[in-house]
Amino acid sequence: MEKFKKEIPYLLIALLPFAYLAYIWSSLPQKVPMHWNASGEIDRWGDKTETIIIPILTVGLSYFLLLVIPKIDPKGKLQNMGNKLNAFRMILTFFMSALALFILYSIQQEKSDPVFIFIIVGLLFAFTGNYFKTLKPNYFLGIRTPWTLENEEIWKKTHILGGKLWFVGGILMALTFLLPKAFQLYTFLGITAVISIIPIVYSYLEFRKIKKQ
């Protein structure tokens, strides 16, 4: 019972998109927009029953995975993070719930501005990066390369660098709304590539350096 009480805040946030979908369900037409292109134009329609997949694949899946993964982590490092892991869970659940709510709202209104997704995802990157330095070596969360999993020191250094990159990159992603529409998507994708590739290359170079020593 005590464990369930601790889960209530996470559950309430995770269930928000499901509650919102139930609230708007009767007002949705049978055919609803299910995808928009980079310009915010609808390029795919679907049956409204497809909308159920949205909260399941966003907040539902992330909540379930973060609930189960610490329990099956063979090294048990995630469970030892305690409140830091709980804070990370809360942040991810909140942003995934916000993303699902925005998508469902866009479907209801039959219009969407991709910049809001850039803001939500950018802030998620920033907050996630802020927690990188607290992550212990594990097989599920973080920058998991053959070299970070091989050496704890490489894991630590890579996550310090990666955390800084994700934080700054996430803020820049969120600020893409200041750019002309034509540059927003490409800037977002470019930043994503940079903050993803650099930590991987860095972990390999650190491994080479240690191997030479």
For residues 19 and 52, give the distance between their C-alpha atoms in angstroms, rounded to a whole number: 11
35: number of Cβ within 10 Å:
11
The model's pLDDT over 27-70, given as tens digits with 9 standing for 90+, comes to 999 999 888 876 777 888 989 999 999 999 999 999 998 888 88
pLDDT at 98 over 80: yes
13 band by pLDDT with thresholds 50, 70 and 90: very high
Query: How far is 128 from 126, CA to CA, in rounded Å?
Result: 5
Give me the sign of the Cα torsion angle 192, 198, 200, 201.
positive
Cα–Cα dist 107/7, whole Å:
30
The string of pLDDT tens digits covering residues 136-179 is 888 888 999 999 998 999 999 999 999 999 999 999 999 998 89
CA 159/CA 185 separation, integer angstroms: 26
Is it the case that residue 2 has pLDDT exceeding 70?
Answer: no
Domain definitions of the chain by residue range: 1-112, 113-213
